[in-house]
Chains A and B, each alone.
Chain A
Amino acid sequence: MQILIQLFHILVFPGLLFDVAMGVLLMGLNNKLVARMQNRVGPPILQPWYDFLKCCGKETIIPARAKRAVFLGSPYLGFVLLISVSMFIPFAGFIPVTMGSDLVVILYLLTFVSVCEILGAASSGSPFAGVGLSREMVAMISYELPFVLVILTVARAVGADQPSGAVFSLEGILAYQEMNGPLLFSPAAIPAAIAMLFVIPCETGMHPFDIAEAETEICEGMLAEYSGTPLAMYRLTHMVKVYTMSSLFVAMFLGNRFTGIVPVDILIGILLCIAVMFISAALPHAVCARLKVEQVFHFYWTVVTGFALAGLLLVWAGV
Chain B
Amino acid sequence: MNMEHYPILAIISLFLGAFLVALFGRLNKVLRNLIVAAAVTIPLCLMIALIAPVMIGGQVIGYWMGNWAPVGPWAIGIGLEVDALSLFFGLVVTIAVFVSGLYSFTYMNRDDSLENYYTLFLMLSGSLLGLVLTGDLFNIFVMIEIMTMTAVALTAFRVDYEGALEGALKYMVVGSIGSTSVLVGIAMLYSQLHTLNMAQIAAALPDHQNLVTVGAFAFLFLGFSTKAFLFPFHPLAADAHAVAPASISLMISGVITKCGVYGIIRLAYILYQNINEPAVSILITGFGAVSCFICVTMAFNQHDFKRLLAFHSISQVGYVITAVGLGTALGLSAGLYHAMNHTLFKGLLFLCAGAVQYATGSLDLGRLGGLAKKMPKTCALFLIGAASISGLPPFNGFFSKWMIYQASFEKGLDTGNFFYIVVCVVCLLSSVLTLASFVKVAQSVFFGQLQPQFENTKEVPLTMRIPMWILAVLCILTGVLPWEVLQKLVGPAAAAALNAAGYIQGMLGSGAAAGAGAQAAFSMEIGFWGPVSWLCLLLIVSCAVCLVAVLGTAEQKSPEERHEMDRRAGRTAAFTRDGFADAGRILKPAEKEGHYRNPVLSGTTLTFTGEKDPKYENFFSGEESEYSQVGGGDLFWGFKTNWRHYFQGMRRWHSGVINDYTRYGIVALAFVLLYACLFL
Contacts from A to B (Cβ < 8 Å): 7, 10-11, 15-16, 56-59, 61-65, 67, 69-70, 76, 79-81, 83-84, 87, 97, 99-102, 104-105, 108-109, 111-112, 115, 118-119, 122-128, 130-131, 133-135, 137-138, 140-142, 144-145, 148-149, 152, 155-156, 159, 164-166, 168-169, 211, 219, 224-225, 227, 229, 292-294, 296-298, 301, 312, 316
- Tell me if B409 counts as interface (CB < 8 A to partner A): yes
Q: How many B residues touch A, CB cutoff 8 Å? A: 83
Q: B515-565: which have CB < 8 Å to A?
A: 525, 527-530, 533-534, 537-538, 540-542, 544-546, 549, 552, 556, 559
Which residues from chain A contact B533 at a C-beta distance below 8 Å? 97, 99
Query: In the bound complex, do residue A104 and residue B432 qualify as a contact, i.e. CB atoms below 8 Å apart?
Result: no
Query: In the bound complex, do residue B552 and residue A138 qualify as a contact, i.e. CB atoms below 8 Å apart?
Result: no
Query: In the bound complex, do residue B372 and residue A126 qualify as a contact, i.e. CB atoms below 8 Å apart?
Result: no
Q: How far, in angstroms, from A63 to B617 measured CA to CA in the complex? A: 5
Query: In the bound complex, do residue B637 and residue A138 qualify as a contact, i.e. CB atoms below 8 Å apart?
Result: yes
Query: In the bound complex, do residue A152 and residue B414 qualify as a contact, i.e. CB atoms below 8 Å apart?
Result: no
Tell me if B's interface is mostly helix, strand, loop or mixed.
helix
Given the known A-B contacts A65-B370, A137-B439, A294-B638, are A166 and B413 also in contact in the complex, defined by CB atoms under 8 Å? yes
- Shortest CB-to-CB span from A16 to chain B, Å, is 6
Contact among A59, A133, A145 with B578 in the assembled complex (CB-CB below 8 Å): A59
- Shortest CB-to-CB span from B345 to chain A, Å, is 16
Contact among A15, A16, A112, A293 with B637 in the assembled complex (CB-CB below 8 Å): A293
Contact among A61, A293, A312, A316 with B616 in the assembled complex (CB-CB below 8 Å): A61
Q: B618-643: which have CB < 8 Å to A?
A: 618-620, 625, 628, 630-639, 641-642
Which residues from chain A contact B525 at a C-beta distance below 8 Å? 164
Contact with A along B405-422 (1 / 0, CB 8 A): 110011001100010010
Given the known A-B contacts A10-B537, A67-B447, A312-B421, are A108 and B619 also in contact in the complex, defined by CB atoms under 8 Å? no
Query: In the bound complex, do residue A64 and residue B541 qualify as a contact, i.e. CB atoms below 8 Å apart?
Result: no
Query: In the bound complex, do residue A65 and residue B449 qualify as a contact, i.e. CB atoms below 8 Å apart?
Result: yes
Q: Which residue of B lies closest to A112 (CB)?
A: B392
Q: Which residue of A lies closest to B619 (CB)?
A: A225
A67, A69, A298, A312 interface centre (most CB from chain B within 10 Å): A67
Given the known A-B contacts A59-B559, A99-B534, A145-B425, are A65 and B617 also in contact in the complex, defined by CB atoms under 8 Å? yes
Which residues from chain A contact B552 at a C-beta distance below 8 Å? 56
Query: In the bound complex, do residue A108 and residue B537 qualify as a contact, i.e. CB atoms below 8 Å apart?
Result: no
- Tell me if B509 counts as interface (CB < 8 A to partner A): no
Instruction: Report 20 cross-chain contacts, Cβ distance below 8 Å, ordered by A residue.
Output: A65-B618, A84-B541, A99-B530, A99-B534, A100-B528, A122-B443, A123-B447, A127-B449, A128-B620, A130-B631, A130-B635, A137-B639, A138-B638, A145-B429, A152-B425, A164-B410, A165-B413, A224-B620, A296-B638, A312-B421
Query: In the bound complex, do residue A76 and residue B618 qualify as a contact, i.e. CB atoms below 8 Å apart?
Result: no
- Tell me if B243 counts as interface (CB < 8 A to partner A): no
Query: In the bound complex, do residue A59 and residue B582 qualify as a contact, i.e. CB atoms below 8 Å apart?
Result: yes
Q: How far, in angstroms, from A99 to B535 measured CA to CA in the complex? A: 12
Given the known A-B contacts A11-B540, A59-B582, A108-B392, are A130 and B632 also in contact in the complex, defined by CB atoms under 8 Å? yes
Query: In the bound complex, do residue B392 and residue A58 qualify as a contact, i.e. CB atoms below 8 Å apart?
Result: no
- Shortest CB-to-CB span from B113 to chain A, Å, is 39
Q: Which residue of A lies closest to B398 (CB)?
A: A108
Query: In the bound complex, do residue A59 and residue B418 qualify as a contact, i.e. CB atoms below 8 Å apart?
Result: no
Q: B361-412: which have CB < 8 Å to A?
A: 370, 372-373, 376, 379, 383, 387, 390-393, 398, 402, 405-406, 409-410
Which residues from chain A contact B594 at a C-beta distance below 8 Å? 64
Given contact pairs A138-B637, A227-B619, enumerate 18 new A-B contacts (beta carbons under 8 Å): A59-B578, A61-B581, A61-B619, A64-B617, A115-B390, A125-B370, A133-B439, A137-B635, A137-B636, A140-B432, A145-B429, A164-B413, A165-B413, A166-B413, A169-B528, A225-B618, A229-B549, A301-B642
Which residues from chain B contact A145 at a C-beta distance below 8 Å? 425, 429, 432
Q: B173-209: which have CB < 8 Å to A?
A: none
Query: In the bound complex, do residue B619 and residue A123 qualify as a contact, i.e. CB atoms below 8 Å apart?
Result: no
Contact with A along B444-465 (1 / 0, CB 8 A): 0011111000000000000000
Q: B460-496: which have CB < 8 Å to A?
A: none
- Tell me if B433 counts as interface (CB < 8 A to partner A): yes
- Tell me if B84 counts as interface (CB < 8 A to partner A): no
Q: How far, in angstroms, from A69 to B628 measured CA to CA in the complex? A: 23
Which residues from chain B contact A140 at a C-beta distance below 8 Å? 432, 435-436
Which residues from chain A contact B447 at a C-beta distance below 8 Å? 67, 70, 119, 122-125
Tell me if A's interface is mostly helix, strand, loop or mixed.
helix
Which residues from chain B contact A135 at a C-beta distance below 8 Å? 638
Contact with A along B281-300 (1 / 0, CB 8 A): 00000000000000000000
Query: In the bound complex, do residue B432 and residue A144 qualify as a contact, i.e. CB atoms below 8 Å apart?
Result: yes
A111, A224, A301 interface centre (most CB from chain B within 10 Å): A111
Contact among B391, B540, B545 with A76 in the assembled complex (CB-CB below 8 Å): B545
Query: In the bound complex, do residue B372 and residue A67 qualify as a contact, i.e. CB atoms below 8 Å apart?
Result: yes
- Tell me if B442 counts as interface (CB < 8 A to partner A): yes
Query: In the bound complex, do residue A152 and residue B432 qualify as a contact, i.e. CB atoms below 8 Å apart?
Result: no
Q: How far, in angstroms, from A296 to B442 measured CA to CA in the complex? A: 24
Ranked nearest first, the 6 interchain pairs of A and B with the lowest CB-CB distance are A100-B528, A293-B638, A165-B413, A130-B632, A122-B447, A127-B630
- Shortest CB-to-CB span from B560 to chain A, Å, is 12
Q: How far, in angstroms, from A144 to B634 measured CA to CA in the complex? A: 21
Which residues from chain A contact B530 at a C-beta distance below 8 Å? 99-100
- Tell me if B424 counts as interface (CB < 8 A to partner A): yes
B414, B528, B584 interface centre (most CB from chain A within 10 Å): B528
- Shortest CB-to-CB span from A13 to chain B, Å, is 14
Q: Which residue of A lies closest to B386 (CB)?
A: A115
Which residues from chain A contact B542 at a C-beta distance below 8 Å? 76, 80
Query: In the bound complex, do residue A80 and residue B538 qualify as a contact, i.e. CB atoms below 8 Å apart?
Result: yes
Q: Which residue of B lies closest to A130 (CB)?
A: B632
- Tell me if B69 counts as interface (CB < 8 A to partner A): no
Query: In the bound complex, do residue B527 and residue A126 qualify as a contact, i.e. CB atoms below 8 Å apart?
Result: no
Q: How far, in angstroms, from A112 to B582 measured CA to CA in the complex? A: 35
Q: How far, in angstroms, from A144 to B447 measured CA to CA in the complex? A: 25
Q: How far, in angstroms, from A309 to B581 measured CA to CA in the complex? A: 53
- Shortest CB-to-CB span from B305 to chain A, Å, is 16
Which residues from chain A contact B409 at a C-beta distance below 8 Å? 152, 155, 166
